């Protein structure tokens, strides 16, 4: 237990860092302070300190600035400092504005409302049971619930109208908060558990239906606050006196838990999940040290403490089932580790086949992770590293700051899964077919690499792959995959604009606009939807707003095929110029020369065209049109319309 003297030292360090504008150090000290003490006064101290350096936080930490509007039917003001603080710790800077108490209908329906005039990036909709389904408690009281189903349907219809009306005039991303089941009802614990239409069951059903509804609204996530309340204790989740006195829906003791959970749900709208979990072996994937205990001596299997590690292995396998790639970075003799997997296979939930890449040697783990990133063609910010050794963890933090580090609790192995699951790194509100097929695709990539080493030249290798590109509307990719690509792709992304689903829909549905994806397959498998282009015609020019390609398929000519498709479409729609834009980032160097390499010439921006850092290129379509590489077979390019009314498929 840290003492108050240490607490005061941390507060002084935070204050000093903030006073000199050192946002990195200030946030680091704030995180340490709240991790060790987390008293209300500490949260307020952090909120006040962070508020004075928001520009530095945005600049130095590259925190995302978000204009955030709170639509509510409850009191939220005491929670706001906690919300702002948790946002900073999650690398956001929120410009918060709170709507009128109970004015949510006007705000969501009226395109001239205060909400509309604020022009938010994000909207948090926080309503209570009375506003969403106020008749449910009485309808459920008799245990029969004759009108419960009808009330739920009516409630869903009202909420759907509000959300769809709002979406018709705003592209802001939405978080809709669910309901918390009461700790006690008039039916009592037994009746609540056994009667079909008890209030608890009705609220759970309504929450499930609301979550499904949110899934039908673009850029909308459901915040399951009832799950949080159940995990941390419904009896203490709400202070009844404060609720009846001021409509405060959460007790003071739950403010931070609530705020952290809200920011975690909200983050799925703005941040893609990480792609790789890289795990150590000794005292992480299994108990004990292989080099000392031997294969038979490591702890794994059905008996304690081995079952703790088995539980962790099962959790990793579950992550893998939805597309999270598993890798190993361990200091060991590789032959010994492979022998352990063979000898103890009956006691392990994972085999080496479950891992997309393996680095087992005596080299530094930072070097191993760099090699993994290069082999998988992924950025270091795609990785989460789990290790029990604090020295190794700190080395990765310092040498590879982009990698998220989770220290395994060596003395409490039963907390392995809890420690990892408490982190938001793999949170996703949507899982696509491409996610599910990711492991197979990376294994196919290894087969391609083996083939490449056996053929004479690049053209011969590419021709031998049998590459087929299929062009489709981004709305049918599905749309969630198109938005996922926009959020996750960094290396081959010409402008790195993180468009929302609503904005992609606008490109597809506006006259002269186009939102097209490319799906790729070859002799080794189907890579899925790997590229996206958003374009719009303006006068005699066709402007490429976004063009991006998954790093998994760079170098096979697919980027050229996509550009050729855009060029052909531009010619068919009467455009004379194809205009491309490049905005340099730390990560998109691989595509810096894409337009010049395809015959474009650099030009000066016209008027207020582009944004700071934009470089424009143009190609005269009357004299030259990009052509697709001869080794690629094209499908879906016989139509000139990839809008909402026409979907191309093979």
Confidence of residue 446 (pLDDT cuts 50, 70, 90): confident
Q: Are 648 and 631 in contact (CB under 8 A)?
A: no
Q: Which CATH number is 444-635 given?
A: 3.40.630.30
Give the three-class secondary structure for 613.
Answer: coil
Q: Is the dihedral of CA 388, 390, 391, 397 positive or negative?
A: positive
DSSP secondary structure of 73-96: SS--GGGHHHHHHHHHHTTEEEEE
Q: Is the dihedral of CA 379, 381, 383, 388 positive or negative?
A: positive
Q: Mean of the per-residue pLDDT values for the chain? A: 93
Q: Is pLDDT at 643 greater than 80 in this prediction?
A: no
Q: Which H or E run includes 124?
A: strand 122-126
Two tokens at 457?
């030249």
Nearest of 431, 564, 586, 365 to residue 493 by alpha carbon: 586
Which of 113-122, 213-222, 289-298, 448-457 comes out lowest in average pLDDT? 448-457
Q: Per-residue pLDDT tens for 519-529?
A: 999 999 999 99
pTM confidence score: 0.87
In degrees to the nearest 10, what's the CA dihedral of 335, 340, 345, 347?
Answer: -160
pLDDT of residue 510: 87
pLDDT of residue 264: 98
Q: Per-residue pLDDT tens for 104-113?
A: 999 999 999 9
Topology of the domain comprising 276-421: Rossmann fold (3.40.50)
DSSP single-letter state for residue 63: P
Percent residues over pLDDT 70 in the chain = 98
The Cα 82–Cα 88 span in angstroms is 10
The Cα 550–Cα 103 span in angstroms is 44
pLDDT of residue 647: 32
Q: Which H or E run includes 540?
A: none
Q: Is pLDDT at 579 greater than 90 in this prediction?
A: yes
pLDDT of residue 453: 78
Domain 63-267 has CATH 3.40.50.1110: yes
Averaged over 362-387, what is the pLDDT?
95
The Cα 340–Cα 547 span in angstroms is 46
Which of 112-126, 244-258, 367-381, 625-639 comes out lowest in average pLDDT? 625-639
**CATH fold match for the domains 63-267 and 276-421:** yes
Nearest of 566, 523, 531 to residue 552 by alpha carbon: 531
Nearest of 56, 58, 135 to residue 94 by alpha carbon: 58
The Cα 486–Cα 219 span in angstroms is 13
Residues ≥6 apart with Cβ < 8 Å to 337: 281, 290, 328, 330, 360
Which residue ranges make up each domain of the chain? 1-51, 63-267, 276-421, 444-635
């Amino acid at each position: 237990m840290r003492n108050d003297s240490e607490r005061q030292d941390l507060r002084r360090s935070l204050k000093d860092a903030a006073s000199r504008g050192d946002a990195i150090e200030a946030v680091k000290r704030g995180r340490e302070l709240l991790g060790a003490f987390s008293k209300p006064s500490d949260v307020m101290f952090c909120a006040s300190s962070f508020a004075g350096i928001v520009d530095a936080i945005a600049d130095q930490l590259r925190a995302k600035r978000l204009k955030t509007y709170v639509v509510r039917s409850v009191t939220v003001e005491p929670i706001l400092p906690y919300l702002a603080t948790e946002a900073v710790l999650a690398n956001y800077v929120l410009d918060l504005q709170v709507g009128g108490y109970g004015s949510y209908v006007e705000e969501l329906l009226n395109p001239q409302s205060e909400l509309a005039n604020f022009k938010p990036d994000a909207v948090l909709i926080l309503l209570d049971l009375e506003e969403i389904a106020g008749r449910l408690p009485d309808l459920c009281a008799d245990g029969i619930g004759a009108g419960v189903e009808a009330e739920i349907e009516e409630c869903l219809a009202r909420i759907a109208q509000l959300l769809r009306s709002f979406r018709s005039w705003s592209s802001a991303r939405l978080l809709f908060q669910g309901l918390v089941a009461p700790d006690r009802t008039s039916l009592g614990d037994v009746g609540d558990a056994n009667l079909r239409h008890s209030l608890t069951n009705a609220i759970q059903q309504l929450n499930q239906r609301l979550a499904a509804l949110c899934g039908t609204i673009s850029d909308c996530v459901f915040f399951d606050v009832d799950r949080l309340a159940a995990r941390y204790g419904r009896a203490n989740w709400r202070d009844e006196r404060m609720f009846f006195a001021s409509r405060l829906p959460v007790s003071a003791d739950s403010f931070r838990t609530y705020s952290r959970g809200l920011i975690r749900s909200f983050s799925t709208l703005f941040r893609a999940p990480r792609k790789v979990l890289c795990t150590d072996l000794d005292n992480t994937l299994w108990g004990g040290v292989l080099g000392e205990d031997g294969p038979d001596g490591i702890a794994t299997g059905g008996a304690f403490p081995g079952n703790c590690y088995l539980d962790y292995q099962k959790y990793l396998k579950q992550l893998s089932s939805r597309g999270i790639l598993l890798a190993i970075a361990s200091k060991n003799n590789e032959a010994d580790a492979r022998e352990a997997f063979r000898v103890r296979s009956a006691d392990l939930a994972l085999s080496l086949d479950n891992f997309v890449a393996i680095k087992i040697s005596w080299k530094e783990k930072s070097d191993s992770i760099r090699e993994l990133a290069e082999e998988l063609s992924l950025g270091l910010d795609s990785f989460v590293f789990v290790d029990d050794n604090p020295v190794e963890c700190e080395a990765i933090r310092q040498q590879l700051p982009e990698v998220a580090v989770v220290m395994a609790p060596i003395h409490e192995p039963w907390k392995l899964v809890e420690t990892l699951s408490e982190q938001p790194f793999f949170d996703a509100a949507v899982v696509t077919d491409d996610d599910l097929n990711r492991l197979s695709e990376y294994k196919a990539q290894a087969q391609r690499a083996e083939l490449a080493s056996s053929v004479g030249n690049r053209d011969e290798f590419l021709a031998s792959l049998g590459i087929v590109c299929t062009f489709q509307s981004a709305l049918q990719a599905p749309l969630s995959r198109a938005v996922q690509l926009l959020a996750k792709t960094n290396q081959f992304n010409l402008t790195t604009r993180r468009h929302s689903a609503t904005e992609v829909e606008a490109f597809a549905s506006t006259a002269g606009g186009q939102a097209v994806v490319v799906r790729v397959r070859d002799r080794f498998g189907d890579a899925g939807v790997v590229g996206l282009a958003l374009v719009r015609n303006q006068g005699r020019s066709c402007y490429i707003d976004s063009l991006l390609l998954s790093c998994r398929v760079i170098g096979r000519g697919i980027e050229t095929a996509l550009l050729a498709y855009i060029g052909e479409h531009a010619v068919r729609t009467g455009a004379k110029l194809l205009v491309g834009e490049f905005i340099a980032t730390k990560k998109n160097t691989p595509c810096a020369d894409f337009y010049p390499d395809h015959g474009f010439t650099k030009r000066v921006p016209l008027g207020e065209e582009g944004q700071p850092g934009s470089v424009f290129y143009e190609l005269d379509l009357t004299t030259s049109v990009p052509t697709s590489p001869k080794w690629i077979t094209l499908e879906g390019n016989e139509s000139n319309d990839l809008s909402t009314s026409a979907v191309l498929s093979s």
